[in-house]
Amino acid sequence: MNFGSFMEFHTREGNGQEDAFQESFDHVALAEDLGLDTVWLAETHFNPNRSVLSAPLVLAAAIAGRTKRIKIGTAVQILPLGNPLRIAEEVATLDHISGGRFEFGIGRSGLPSAYNGYNIPYTESRERFYESMEIIKKAFTEDSFTYSGKYNSYENVCLTPKPLQNPYPQMRIAATTSETFTTLGQMGIPIFVGVRGLSLSDVAQQVALYREALRKANHATGSILLRVPVHVAESTPEALANSEASFMKQFRRLGSQLGSNATAALNTEGNTSKNLSEIDWNHIQGEKVAVGDPDTVVAQIKNMIDVLTLDGIAAEFNAGEEIPAPKVENSLSLFCKEVMPKLR
């Protein structure tokens, strides 16, 4: 099992952007000291009230220089928003800088707002994503290559440097629809999943499609990692009180974003805005969040692992950005000291 922290380098009302960077770097340092396996970096654009994490590869390099052991991943790098050859150069460089600790989570995002800012039609996102992924793999694995695609063309280029990891850092893709689960299983690519707008049983059915596709294609490289809000406190009532407003803000916000975008009926996890708008805090414990004292969170996550056949957890310790920093730190500490060891 791999246990990580999903990070957005969140901003807080009344604090400066420099405070957002410092708080998140402090979180990474504590995660390293406590033995957490991975920090996962999101990618968010044009939203100063939420996040300063618009350049995940830059921040990954900074984290690599500040740490020695913890792995650093993107969750996810939005491939259609950048030049794939440039992304490949930066990822390969980062792989060397980190000593091979980088994991390359990729996706296209289920919300079109970033595309609007970059003046890229969201309707092109799927084609651009798969074209970019093909180019990046070629760049990593071929001495030099020529490529002519719908959105990108290159003539006899040689990626320098090549990645440190052979053949390249592990790629992991955010799974979307049932069709996507099957496609990614056939490709043998590790995936991210979420349960925000779907039930555990619904996602379990999608995961079964992925596992079956892996088996039929004779892949042994499949892996499933769940992104889920987590808060641990000394008592369950305290944990619930600490996290309710912040976690519910996250669910409501995503529901609102999806509902306001006619082009995004589903987000990257297949969540409908209607499902998210109807979420009840009292009915999602152990289903869409893991909240409680250490023993309660152990039981909740163990059930998620069993139902979804998980290989890892990317815990959102401050989903919604409103849990005070000391309580986030305490939650991370309790998670690493009293939850992780019982789930290894």
- Please report which helix (H) or strand (E) contains residue 314, including its range: strand 312-316
Per-residue DSSP letter, 8: -
* pLDDT, averaged across the chain: 94
Query: Are the beta carbons of 308 and 175 closer than 8 angstroms?
Result: no
Q: Say whether both 98 and 183 belong to one domain.
A: no
Which of 172, 191, 217 lies at the terminal end of a domain, its last residue? 172
Closest CA to 154 of 206, 62, 86, 82: 86
Which of 145, 172, 199 lies at the terminal end of a domain, its last residue? 172
Count of Cβ atoms closer than 10 Å to residue 222 Cβ: 20
pLDDT score at 266: 43
Domain that holds residue 317: 175-226+235-344
pLDDT score at 261: 57
Q: Say whether both 150 and 215 belong to one domain.
A: no
Q: Say whether both 295 and 283 belong to one domain.
A: yes
Model confidence at 13, pLDDT cuts 50, 70, 90, reads: very high
Model confidence at 93, pLDDT cuts 50, 70, 90, reads: very high
How many separate domains does the chain show?
Answer: 2
To the nearest whole percent, how much of the chain has pLDDT over 90? 89
**Which residue did the predictor score with more confidence, 197 or 284?**
284
Q: Say whether both 163 and 189 belong to one domain.
A: no
Which of 172, 192, 215 lies at the terminal end of a domain, its last residue? 172
pLDDT score at 178: 86
pLDDT score at 277: 66
- Using the predicted structure, report yes or no on whether residue 197 has a pLDDT greater than 90: no
Segment 64-71 mean pLDDT: 98
**DSSP three-state, residue 224:** strand
Lowest-confidence range among 93-107, 138-152, 184-198, 244-258? Answer: 244-258
To the nearest whole percent, how much of the chain has pLDDT over 70? 94
Count of Cβ atoms closer than 10 Å to residue 21 Cβ: 16
Q: Say whether both 146 and 160 belong to one domain.
A: yes
Q: Say whether both 342 and 272 belong to one domain.
A: yes
Question: What are the pLDDT digits (tens) for 164-192?
Answer: 999 999 999 999 788 899 999 999 999 99
- Using the predicted structure, report yes or no on whether residue 336 has a pLDDT greater than 70: yes
- Using the predicted structure, report yes or no on whether residue 62 has a pLDDT greater than 60: yes
pLDDT score at 220: 86
Number of H helices and E strands in the chain, helices first, is 11, 12
- Using the predicted structure, report yes or no on whether residue 51 has a pLDDT greater than 50: yes
Q: Say whether both 8 and 134 belong to one domain.
A: yes
Kindly tell me the burial class for residue 119, based on how many C-beta atoms sit within 10 Å of its own C-beta (0-12, 13-18, 19 or more): exposed
Segment 13-34 mean pLDDT: 97
Rounded CA gap, 1 and 313, in Å? 8
Q: Say whether both 50 and 143 belong to one domain.
A: yes
Question: What are the pLDDT digits (tens) for 249-306?
Answer: 999 998 776 665 544 444 444 445 566 767 899 999 999 999 999 999 999 999 999 9
Q: Say whether both 23 and 163 belong to one domain.
A: yes
Q: Say whether both 189 and 124 belong to one domain.
A: no
- Using the predicted structure, report yes or no on whether residue 311 has a pLDDT greater than 50: yes
Segment 132-158 mean pLDDT: 98
Q: Say whether both 295 and 327 belong to one domain.
A: yes
Q: Say whether both 116 and 155 belong to one domain.
A: yes
Question: What are the pLDDT digits (tens) for 200-254?
Answer: 999 999 999 999 999 999 998 899 999 999 999 999 999 999 999 999 999 999 8
pLDDT score at 111: 82
CATH number at residue 43: 3.20.20.30
Query: Are the beta carbons of 182 and 216 closer than 8 angstroms?
Result: no
Angle of the 236-259 helix axis to the 325-334 helix axis, nearest 10: 110
pLDDT score at 315: 98
